[in-house]
Structure 1
Amino acid sequence: MEIKEKKEEKIIHNIVKSIEKMDKHLDDIKQEGKLTQTRLKEWFFEKEVLYDIRHILHEIDKYDGYNLNRIQPIDENFLELGLDSETASFMKDYFG
Protein backbone atom coordinates (compact mmCIF):
# COMPACT_ATOMS: atom_id res chain seq x y z
CA MET A 1 0.00 0.00 0.00
CA GLU A 2 2.91 2.33 0.71
CA ILE A 3 4.12 2.12 -2.91
CA LYS A 4 0.68 3.12 -4.19
CA GLU A 5 0.57 6.09 -1.80
CA LYS A 6 4.00 7.26 -2.95
CA LYS A 7 2.92 6.96 -6.58
CA GLU A 8 -0.24 8.96 -5.91
CA GLU A 9 1.79 11.61 -4.08
CA LYS A 10 4.17 11.86 -7.04
CA ILE A 11 1.25 12.21 -9.45
CA ILE A 12 -0.35 14.95 -7.39
CA HIS A 13 3.03 16.70 -7.17
CA ASN A 14 3.38 16.58 -10.98
CA ILE A 15 -0.09 18.03 -11.50
CA VAL A 16 0.56 20.81 -8.98
CA LYS A 17 3.90 21.53 -10.66
CA SER A 18 2.19 21.86 -14.04
CA ILE A 19 -0.46 24.21 -12.66
CA GLU A 20 2.15 26.32 -10.86
CA LYS A 21 4.10 26.58 -14.13
CA MET A 22 0.98 27.79 -15.91
CA ASP A 23 0.20 30.29 -13.14
CA LYS A 24 3.72 31.71 -13.34
CA HIS A 25 3.49 32.11 -17.12
CA LEU A 26 0.05 33.69 -16.86
CA ASP A 27 1.25 36.15 -14.20
CA ASP A 28 4.18 37.13 -16.41
CA ILE A 29 1.87 37.57 -19.38
CA LYS A 30 -0.66 39.68 -17.46
CA GLN A 31 2.14 42.14 -16.71
CA GLU A 32 2.30 42.85 -20.45
CA GLY A 33 -1.25 44.19 -20.70
CA LYS A 34 -4.45 43.18 -22.46
CA LEU A 35 -3.27 42.78 -26.02
CA THR A 36 -4.45 40.13 -28.46
CA GLN A 37 -0.99 38.59 -28.22
CA THR A 38 -1.42 38.37 -24.44
CA ARG A 39 -4.70 36.51 -24.76
CA LEU A 40 -3.15 34.13 -27.30
CA LYS A 41 -0.25 33.41 -24.95
CA GLU A 42 -2.67 32.72 -22.11
CA TRP A 43 -4.66 30.37 -24.32
CA PHE A 44 -1.57 28.47 -25.44
CA PHE A 45 -0.14 28.01 -21.93
CA GLU A 46 -3.51 26.85 -20.60
CA LYS A 47 -3.77 24.35 -23.46
CA GLU A 48 -0.22 23.15 -22.79
CA VAL A 49 -0.87 22.57 -19.07
CA LEU A 50 -4.10 20.69 -19.75
CA TYR A 51 -2.13 18.50 -22.15
CA ASP A 52 0.46 17.83 -19.41
CA ILE A 53 -2.25 16.92 -16.89
CA ARG A 54 -3.92 14.57 -19.39
CA HIS A 55 -0.53 12.93 -19.98
CA ILE A 56 0.06 12.44 -16.24
CA LEU A 57 -3.39 10.91 -15.74
CA HIS A 58 -2.96 8.71 -18.82
CA GLU A 59 0.26 7.28 -17.38
CA ILE A 60 -1.67 5.91 -14.40
CA ASP A 61 -4.59 4.67 -16.52
CA LYS A 62 -7.01 7.30 -15.17
CA TYR A 63 -7.60 9.07 -18.49
CA ASP A 64 -8.06 7.46 -21.90
CA GLY A 65 -8.47 10.58 -24.05
CA TYR A 66 -4.76 11.40 -24.15
CA ASN A 67 -3.16 11.54 -27.58
CA LEU A 68 0.60 12.02 -27.93
CA ASN A 69 0.09 14.10 -31.07
CA ARG A 70 -2.59 16.31 -29.48
CA ILE A 71 -0.38 19.41 -29.14
CA GLN A 72 0.27 20.75 -32.59
CA PRO A 73 3.16 22.97 -33.51
CA ILE A 74 2.44 26.48 -32.29
CA ASP A 75 1.87 27.87 -35.79
CA GLU A 76 -0.81 25.25 -36.43
CA ASN A 77 -2.49 26.25 -33.15
CA PHE A 78 -2.64 29.84 -34.35
CA LEU A 79 -3.99 28.75 -37.74
CA GLU A 80 -6.64 26.81 -35.84
CA LEU A 81 -7.72 30.12 -34.29
CA GLY A 82 -8.42 31.50 -37.75
CA LEU A 83 -5.26 33.56 -38.20
CA ASP A 84 -3.81 33.72 -41.70
CA SER A 85 -0.49 31.94 -42.30
CA GLU A 86 1.55 35.18 -42.24
CA THR A 87 0.13 36.21 -38.86
CA ALA A 88 0.49 32.66 -37.54
CA SER A 89 4.13 32.65 -38.63
CA PHE A 90 4.70 35.98 -36.87
CA MET A 91 3.06 34.64 -33.71
CA LYS A 92 5.21 31.51 -33.87
CA ASP A 93 8.36 33.65 -34.07
CA TYR A 94 7.10 35.96 -31.33
CA PHE A 95 6.16 33.19 -28.89
CA GLY A 96 8.75 30.65 -30.00
Structure 2
Amino acid sequence: MKSEELKKEDTINRIVETIEKMDKHLADYEKEEKTTQNRLKEWFFEKEALHDIRHILHEIDKYENDDYKELRPVDENFMELGLDAQTASFMRDYFC
Protein backbone atom coordinates (compact mmCIF):
# COMPACT_ATOMS: atom_id res chain seq x y z
CA MET A 1 0.00 0.00 0.00
CA LYS A 2 2.83 2.38 0.79
CA SER A 3 4.28 1.82 -2.65
CA GLU A 4 1.01 2.93 -4.26
CA GLU A 5 0.86 6.01 -2.04
CA LEU A 6 4.44 6.91 -2.94
CA LYS A 7 3.63 6.59 -6.65
CA LYS A 8 0.67 8.93 -6.27
CA GLU A 9 2.74 11.44 -4.31
CA ASP A 10 5.53 11.28 -6.91
CA THR A 11 3.03 11.82 -9.73
CA ILE A 12 1.50 14.82 -8.00
CA ASN A 13 4.95 16.28 -7.34
CA ARG A 14 5.97 15.89 -10.99
CA ILE A 15 2.79 17.63 -12.17
CA VAL A 16 3.33 20.46 -9.67
CA GLU A 17 6.94 20.87 -10.86
CA THR A 18 5.75 21.07 -14.46
CA ILE A 19 3.15 23.72 -13.65
CA GLU A 20 5.63 25.72 -11.56
CA LYS A 21 8.13 25.62 -14.43
CA MET A 22 5.49 26.92 -16.84
CA ASP A 23 4.38 29.62 -14.38
CA LYS A 24 7.98 30.79 -13.99
CA HIS A 25 8.43 31.10 -17.76
CA LEU A 26 5.10 32.89 -18.17
CA ALA A 27 5.87 35.29 -15.30
CA ASP A 28 9.13 36.24 -17.02
CA TYR A 29 7.27 37.10 -20.22
CA GLU A 30 4.47 39.00 -18.47
CA LYS A 31 7.06 41.61 -17.49
CA GLU A 32 8.02 42.14 -21.11
CA GLU A 33 6.17 43.87 -23.90
CA LYS A 34 3.40 41.81 -25.53
CA THR A 35 5.05 41.19 -28.87
CA THR A 36 4.18 38.39 -31.25
CA GLN A 37 7.47 36.77 -30.34
CA ASN A 38 6.61 36.74 -26.63
CA ARG A 39 3.11 35.44 -27.31
CA LEU A 40 4.63 32.58 -29.30
CA LYS A 41 6.96 31.79 -26.41
CA GLU A 42 4.02 31.77 -23.99
CA TRP A 43 2.05 29.51 -26.33
CA PHE A 44 4.93 27.07 -26.65
CA PHE A 45 5.58 26.88 -22.89
CA GLU A 46 1.89 26.20 -22.26
CA LYS A 47 1.84 23.52 -24.95
CA GLU A 48 5.01 21.96 -23.55
CA ALA A 49 3.59 21.90 -19.99
CA LEU A 50 0.36 20.22 -21.14
CA HIS A 51 2.38 17.67 -23.08
CA ASP A 52 4.51 16.91 -20.01
CA ILE A 53 1.41 16.48 -17.82
CA ARG A 54 -0.17 14.14 -20.38
CA HIS A 55 3.07 12.16 -20.47
CA ILE A 56 3.17 11.87 -16.67
CA LEU A 57 -0.44 10.67 -16.58
CA HIS A 58 0.18 8.29 -19.48
CA GLU A 59 3.05 6.69 -17.55
CA ILE A 60 0.68 5.71 -14.73
CA ASP A 61 -2.08 4.59 -17.12
CA LYS A 62 -4.39 7.49 -16.30
CA TYR A 63 -4.31 9.05 -19.76
CA GLU A 64 -4.93 6.83 -22.76
CA ASN A 65 -5.97 9.21 -25.51
CA ASP A 66 -5.28 8.07 -29.07
CA ASP A 67 -4.32 11.64 -29.96
CA TYR A 68 -1.43 11.61 -27.48
CA LYS A 69 1.83 12.05 -29.36
CA GLU A 70 5.34 13.06 -28.61
CA LEU A 71 5.87 16.80 -28.74
CA ARG A 72 6.85 17.72 -32.25
CA PRO A 73 9.97 19.75 -32.96
CA VAL A 74 9.63 23.46 -32.29
CA ASP A 75 9.71 24.41 -35.97
CA GLU A 76 6.76 22.11 -36.70
CA ASN A 77 4.81 23.72 -33.86
CA PHE A 78 5.46 27.17 -35.30
CA MET A 79 4.50 25.99 -38.79
CA GLU A 80 1.19 24.88 -37.24
CA LEU A 81 0.59 28.57 -36.51
CA GLY A 82 0.86 29.36 -40.21
CA LEU A 83 4.47 30.55 -40.24
CA ASP A 84 6.50 29.70 -43.32
CA ALA A 85 9.43 27.28 -43.01
CA GLN A 86 12.06 30.04 -42.92
CA THR A 87 10.32 31.96 -40.12
CA ALA A 88 9.63 28.73 -38.21
CA SER A 89 13.31 27.80 -38.50
CA PHE A 90 14.31 31.24 -37.20
CA MET A 91 11.94 30.84 -34.24
CA ARG A 92 13.36 27.37 -33.50
CA ASP A 93 16.89 28.78 -33.47
CA TYR A 94 15.78 31.66 -31.27
CA PHE A 95 13.97 29.52 -28.68
CA CYS A 96 16.33 26.56 -28.51
TM-score, structure 1 as length reference? 0.92
Question: What residue ranges of structure 1 are gaps of 5+ in the alignment?
Answer: none
CA distance in 2, matches of 1:31, 1:85: 29
Where in structure 2 are there 5+ consecutive unaligned residues? none
Between the aligned partners of 1:59 and 1:76, the Cα distance in structure 2 is 25
Aligned residue pairs total: 94
Please give the per-residue CA displacement for 1:9-45, whole angstroms capped at 9, x wherever unaligned.
0000000000000000111122221000111000000
Corresponding residue for residue 25 of structure 1:
25
Normalised by the size of structure 2, how large is the TM-score? 0.92
> How do 1:14-93 residues align onto structure 2 when only pairs under 5 Å count?
14-65=14-65, 66-67=68-69, 69=70, 71-93=71-93
**Runs of 4+ in structure 1 displaced over 3 angstroms?**
none
